[in-house]
Each structure stands twice: as structure tokens, then as C-alpha cells.
């Protein structure tokens, strides 16, 4: 576990409630997920790993290096959160590469599933593009969603009902670069 002084230097002096997942726990779990995904699709089938920015950028970059088969990477930018810690319920697609989905197994990579609004809006839109399959891989799942159109096939950790930051997750754009996942005091 990182020592307190180092953590405070990284957060700009803001104290965390606790470190929820440290670097070693995350790395071990991401390695397992990479192995599972590598084995899940028929050999030779094209794979498109689609990261939902910005939150998934660190998870995705670690994950794709643990997937031991050819794949393509693309990104979507969707925003359902304002600057606070509660969901606004709206989903805006701010960047959409319109990648070719036909015949590809698409894996949508999320940092965290909270209310499920983002996924429930995005999945039907992506299904319309005719992928061979569409699965969701999320690092964290709070299991509070009542409106999920589809459960993620791969979940890194069943997360506590706290506001989590680090390893890509932000609070008002801060803390994405923490190498571990911590919890902010309510």
C-alpha cells in the first residue's frame, strides 16, 4: 500500500477515506481478465476493443496488453456526469469514430458501472451497427443499476457504494493518474 505522504502528494493534499484496490490487486485482476477474454472468442475472429473515454484509458491500456491475440482498439467519448459525484442521467456522445463493426466482436470497455445509464443508452446504439457480438467489460461494478439493458460479461471488481477515484476514474477531472483506486470521503 502506498505510504500516506506519497498519497497526499499525489492527491494534492486531499485525504482519501481509504485505498480500495492497490496496484498489485488491480494488475493481478487485469491479467486474469485478459486471459479470460483471450480464450473467449474463436481463433481468427476479429476483435475490436472499444474504450469509453476518458475513464477507461488506463484500464484499457493495461487490459489490451494482457489479451494475447490480435485486436483493434478504438474509443468513444460519452459523458453522463457533470462535475459532481452523482449521475445526471443524460448521456452525450462527444466523440464517435464510427468504426466498422460488421463481422467484429466488439468489447466495450468501461471504468465503472454505476446507475447503468451510460451503458443502457449506448448498447442499443452500438448494436445497430451490426457487430458479430457486443460484450461489456468493466473494471468496476457497483451493482446498483436497475436499468441495465445488459450485464457486463467481464467485471474486474464488485465495487463498494462509494465515490471511487484513480486508475482513470476522476472527480471533476482530478485524480485520474493515481496508480491505485481510492475512495473519497462523502
- Give the integer Cα–Cα distance in Å for 136 and 109: 6
Q: Is 81 in the site for ligand IMP (CB under 6 A)?
A: yes
* Contact residue for ligand IMP among 10, 21, 118, 122 (CB under 6 A): 118
* Contact residue for ligand IMP among 26, 108, 111, 137 (CB under 6 A): 111
Instruction: Tell me the pairing of strands 181-183 and 164-165.
Output: antiparallel
79-82 contacts, C-beta under 8 A, 24 or more apart = 80/115, 80/117, 80/118, 80/121
Query: Contacts with ligand IMP in 122-161 (CB under 6 A)?
Result: none
Q: Nearer Cβ to ligand IMP, position 41 or 81?
A: 81
Q: What is the DSSP letter of 15?
A: P
Residue 114 is a catalytic residue: yes
Q: Is 114 in the site for ligand IMP (CB under 6 A)?
A: yes
- Name the one residue in this structure whose C-alpha cell is 442499443: 124
Q: Using CB under 6 A, which of the segments 34-42, 57-65, 113-121, 127-135 binds ligand IMP?
A: 113-121
Q: What is the DSSP letter of 153?
A: S
- Residues identified as active-site: 114
Residues near ligand IMP (CB under 6 A): 55, 80-81, 87, 110-118, 163-165, 169
Amino acid at each position: 500500500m502506498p505510504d500516506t505522504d506519497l498519497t497526499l502528494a499525489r492527491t494534492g493534499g486531499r485525504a482519501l477515506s481509504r485505498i480500495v484496490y492497490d496496484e498489485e490487486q488491480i494488475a493481478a485482476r487485469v491479467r486474469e481478465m485478459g486471459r479470460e477474454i483471450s480464450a473467449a472468442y474463436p481463433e481468427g475472429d476479429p476483435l475490436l476493443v472499444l474504450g469509453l473515454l476518458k475513464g477507461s484509458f488506463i484500464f484499457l491500456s493495461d487490459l489490451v496488453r494482457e489479451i494475447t491475440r490480435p485486436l483493434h482498439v478504438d474509443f468513444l467519448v460519452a459523458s453522463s456526469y457533470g462535475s459532481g459525484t452523482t449521475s445526471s442521467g443524460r448521456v452525450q456522445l462527444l466523440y464517435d469514430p464510427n468504426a466498422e463493426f460488421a463481422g467484429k466482436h466488439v468489447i466495450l470497455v468501461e471504468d465503472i458501472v454505476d446507475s447503468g445509464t451510460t451503458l443502457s443508452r449506448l448498447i442499443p446504439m452500438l448494436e445497430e451497427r451490426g457487430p458479430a457480438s457486443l460484450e461489456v467489460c468493466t473494471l468496476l461494478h457497483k451493482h446498483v443499476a436497475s436499468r441495465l439493458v445488459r450485464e457486463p460479461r467481464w467485471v474486474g471488481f464488485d465495487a463498494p457504494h462509494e465515490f471511487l477515484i484513480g486508475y482513470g476514474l476522476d472527480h471533476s477531472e482530478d485524480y485520474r493518474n493515481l496508480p491505485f483506486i481510492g475512495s473519497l470521503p462523502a
